[in-house]
Structure 1
Amino acid sequence: MNSLTFRLLEVFQEVVDGGSVTAASNALALSQPTVSLQLKKLSTIVGLPLLEHFNGKVHMTEAGEAVYRCAQEVLSSQATLRSQIQALQGMETGSLKLAAVTTAKYIAPPLLSAFCKAHPNIDVHFTVGNREQIAQRLKQNRDDIYIFSQPPEDPIVQAEPFLDNNLVVIAPGDYTGPDRCTLHDLVNEKFLLREHGSGTRKAVDEFCTRAGFTFRDPMIIESNEAIRLSVASGLGLAILSEHTLAQVSSNDIKILRVDGFPLSSSWHVVTRKNRPLSLAATAFAQSLLNKTPA
């Protein structure tokens, strides 16, 4: 394939990741006409359209997805080589692309902060999204490392637990209903649940299936913070990770003693087996795995 360059692949990757020519031009410090010209050149080289616009958003064609996978592999290998050469030269630089599910934002920043202080010259890109969004990024090979509580089941995925993630049943601080009970004793209580697709909801649904329990008319809220505040204000009960309660007053939230809880799970460091990790990404993964589970 003639004239296919690192720069063309980099521009295409930034357009896809940023969702627009404008975002790519800002990220790469290029003019928008230059980015558009690079895209046109790449499409001409491939011989097929790579992008299409639908409802104001950029979407990859099948050919675009193939080129994007190539860009990820080539640029990742290039970054790995660069960091290895720099390490040999005694320079600790490089980049780290980290993506985490929303609940992990309570644990990732302190870990990332400690790592950045120890490695100040490493360029870090940190993305947070719901489980479906981060699973899609993993599928597209967009990041070095992912943090999941419920890793996708895929033979190309490598997942290693590094920290406990227990789910508990919580109630308002002034709650006087059933406690030291089973989930069935709470069947008449209003529950506030995460949306389908979140890791927390997946774990809760699996537990309820095993227990033969069904929530009655639950309220769906797509944010841990909103659920926590709603419980504190008396809207109902919820099942959340203990990590989301770390900075909450015990007067606002009460953890109920329910049979089968806390639900035990773990946070996992997730990588793709076919993606070579840079020295920076390898060091960060190792820093997580060296942590003692809570």
Structure 2
Amino acid sequence: MNALTFRLLEVFQRVVDLGSITAASTSLSLSQPTVSLQLKKLSSQIGMPLIEQHQGSIIMTDAGHAVYRCAQEVLTAHARLNSQIAALQGVEVGSLKLAVVTTAKYVIPPLLSEFCRAHPNIEINFTVGNRAQIIQRLTDNKDDLYIFSQPPEDAELVCYPFAENKLQVVAPCNYSGPNNCQLADLAEEKFLLREPGSGTRRLVDQYCRQNGVILNKVMIVESNEAIRLSVASGLGLAILSQHTLANSRQDDLKTLDIKDFPLKSHWQVVTHKRRPISLAASAFRDSLIDAFNQPEKITK
């Protein structure tokens, strides 16, 4: 196999990340035939096909996944070297790829804004998705840092708690049902909950299992905003993060006084041992930890 070049790996990474040759060619300021030629050259050097087209989507082969992981590691290490050299020269440059679960979008932007003001020359790529989408990005090693309230169990992850995440039981402002009670006393109320697998839902389900609580009327809503609006309109009760509630109107919801609530977990900033951490990512991770005074790291 001939020596791989940074350019070939960069082109392949960009095609996979953006999902098409057209988008990659625009991003790289190259023509589509040039990008296609680079992909063919890389496949030829590897000796196996790296991607397949299926219903207009690009799907990586097993070989493609291996090359993509290699590209991520090599290009990240190259970017880190450039950042270190720039730092030695007194120039702060670099990039930060950050992926967060949807509820964390209420927590991260103010902190990211402050970081950007302090480091104006760092390029930021900020992705928001549901837990399954962010786990997939983590599996594909697409980003430098990931924000979860319930990180996946993986020995290759290092997780740093940085902020408390509290879940409250909320009701419409005109709610007149049980209050000052246990969650089991609300078992016959309709609950609007996130989809199974989301961080919030996992914490709620864990509490219910441990305490023998069965919520008999559950409606799944795949958006915190939709849940909040639905509760405000009288459709049912919900269990939501205080961060979601803090970024919405307060006069159309009532927080109930339920035993053991708020349920508490921590937002965690997650890195992968396989991916060398850039100076920019390290700086932002440390800024999150410092902001909330949570120095302890957790290896999954």
**If the TM-score is normalised by the length of the shorter chain, which range does it land in?**
over 0.9
CA RMSD of aligned residues (A): 1.2
**Equivalent residue runs for 1:14-29 within 5 Å:** 14-29=14-29
Q: Displacement, 1:241?
A: 0.5
Q: Distance in 1 between matches of 2:247 and 2:281?
A: 29
Gapped regions of structure 2 (runs ≥ 5): 295-300
Deviations 1:188-246 (A, max 9, x none): 11110101221111111111111112222311111111101111111101111000011
Identity %: 65
What is residue 6 of structure 2 aligned with on the other side?
Answer: 6
Q: Displacement, 1:293?
A: 6.1
Q: Distance in 2 between matches of 1:84 and 1:200?
A: 38
TM-score, with length taken from structure 1:
0.97
Report the 3-state secondary structure (helix = DSSP H, G, I; strand = E; otherwise coil) of the residue aligned with 1:159: strand
Letter in 2 for 1:229: L
Q: Distance in 1 between matches of 2:34 and 2:223?
A: 39
Letter in 1 for 2:217: D
Is residue 189–residue 217 contact of structure 2 (8 Å, CA) maintained in 1?
no
Q: Distance in 2 between matches of 1:250 and 1:50?
A: 51
Q: Distance in 2 between matches of 1:85 and 1:123?
A: 17
Deviations 1:127-148 (A, max 9, x none): 1111111111111111111111
**Equivalent residue runs for 1:43-62 within 5 Å:** 43-62=43-62
What is residue 142 of structure 1 aligned with on the other side?
Answer: 142
Q: Distance in 2 between matches of 1:198 and 1:99?
A: 15
Is residue 145–residue 269 contact of structure 1 (8 Å, CA) maintained in 2?
yes
Q: Displacement, 1:274?
A: 2.6
Q: Distance in 1 between matches of 2:80 and 2:293?
A: 30
What is residue 180 of structure 2 aligned with on the other side?
Answer: 180
My pick for the range that moved more, 107-116 or 14-23, is: 14-23
What is residue 238 of structure 1 aligned with on the other side?
Answer: 238
Q: Displacement, 1:249?
A: 2.8
Aligned residue-pair number: 294
Is residue 186–residue 215 contact of structure 2 (8 Å, CA) maintained in 1?
no
Q: Distance in 2 between matches of 1:260 and 1:29?
A: 56
Report the 3-state secondary structure (helix = DSSP H, G, I; strand = E; otherwise coil) of the residue aligned with 1:96: strand
What is residue 82 of structure 1 aligned with on the other side?
Answer: 82
Is residue 167–residue 261 contact of structure 1 (8 Å, CA) maintained in 2?
yes
Report the 3-state secondary structure (helix = DSSP H, G, I; strand = E; otherwise coil) of the residue aligned with 1:192: strand
Is residue 100–residue 147 contact of structure 2 (8 Å, CA) maintained in 1?
yes
Letter in 2 for 1:5: T
Report the 3-state secondary structure (helix = DSSP H, G, I; strand = E; otherwise coil) of the residue aligned with 2:195: coil
Is residue 180–residue 259 contact of structure 1 (8 Å, CA) maintained in 2?
yes
What is residue 99 of structure 1 aligned with on the other side?
Answer: 99
What is residue 124 of structure 2 aligned with on the other side?
Answer: 124
Report the 3-state secondary structure (helix = DSSP H, G, I; strand = E; otherwise coil) of the residue aligned with 1:141: coil
Report the 3-state secondary structure (helix = DSSP H, G, I; strand = E; otherwise coil) of the residue aligned with 1:17: helix
Q: Displacement, 1:153?
A: 1.1
1:199 matched to 2:199: yes
Q: Distance in 1 between matches of 2:3 and 2:121?
A: 33
Q: Displacement, 1:3?
A: 4.0
List structure 1 runs of 4+ shifted beyond 6 angstroms.
none
Q: Distance in 1 between matches of 2:214 and 2:30?
A: 54
TM-score, with length taken from structure 2:
0.95
What is residue 158 of structure 1 aligned with on the other side?
Answer: 158
Q: Distance in 1 between matches of 2:174 and 2:72?
A: 52
Letter in 2 for 1:284: F
Is residue 171–residue 231 contact of structure 1 (8 Å, CA) maintained in 2?
yes
Q: Displacement, 1:54?
A: 2.0
What is residue 259 of structure 2 aligned with on the other side?
Answer: 259
Is residue 106–residue 247 contact of structure 2 (8 Å, CA) maintained in 1?
no
Q: Displacement, 1:2?
A: 0.7
Report the 3-state secondary structure (helix = DSSP H, G, I; strand = E; otherwise coil) of the residue aligned with 2:43: helix
Gapped regions of structure 1 (runs ≥ 5): none
Q: Displacement, 1:159?
A: 0.2
Q: Distance in 2 between matches of 1:293 and 1:242?
A: 19
